[in-house]
Amino acid sequence: MGRKIILGVTGSIAAYKAAELASLFVKNGDEVHVVMTRAACEFISPLTFRTISRNPVAVDEFAEPAEWKPGHISLAELADVVVVAPATANTIAKMRFGIADNLLLSTLLATRAPVLVAPAMNNGMWENPVTRENIAALAARGVKVIEPDDGRLACGTSGKGRLPDPVRIFDAARKLGK
């Protein structure tokens, strides 16, 4: 039996690539539970992930939980590994400072599972000293960070900031946890 993967999807144009990542986990025999930010839902539908994972998709932190525990606690305890892909600069900054203002961030704050972050953003945002400090702080706390790829970005510029290939993220996640 595979592992229990929490896949956090944030509001980036690269969110569509997270569907391929979810599929890779499912094909590997992993149980995938997707947590989407509201901004992610602007780029890709929860239905896509529900269909791929064959599990409900969590978006609303105030939805009635299926069990007595709050949703973020259930997800945090369920996880063998938490993967955030794509991870926006906003989410990375909030992770660094422990801000838990959505279901994904609350889950990240509560989990004891290994966490893998795959950033995706404009190259200027990636190169900004604030983002670099946030990444370094997370890495110092044990969060595994995959460097973004170099190439053409959705905003029309080129540089480092593309979401890493889903196979690369999948391979990195397989090395974490159990």
Q: How many domains, in total, are found in the chain?
A: 1
Closest by alpha carbon to 83, among 25, 141, 160? 25
Is 155 annotated as catalytic?
yes
Q: What is the CATH number of the domain that holds 44?
A: 3.40.50.1950
Number of Cβ within a 10 Å radius of residue 147: 12
Per the structure, the complete domain to which residue 170 belongs is given by 4-174
* Residues 97-144 pLDDT 10s: 999 999 999 999 999 999 999 999 998 889 999 999 999 999 999 999
How much is the pTM?
Answer: 0.92
| From 63, 130, 136, 155, the catalytic residue | 155
H helices of 7-99, in order, are 15-27, 46-53, 71-78, 89-97
Tens-place pLDDT, residues 49-81: 999 999 999 887 655 555 544 455 678 778 899
Is residue 105 within 8 Å of residue 94, measured between CB atoms?
yes
**CA atoms of 48 and 149, how far apart (whole Å):** 25
Sheet holding 144-145, edge to edge: 31-36, 4-9, 81-87, 115-119, 144-145
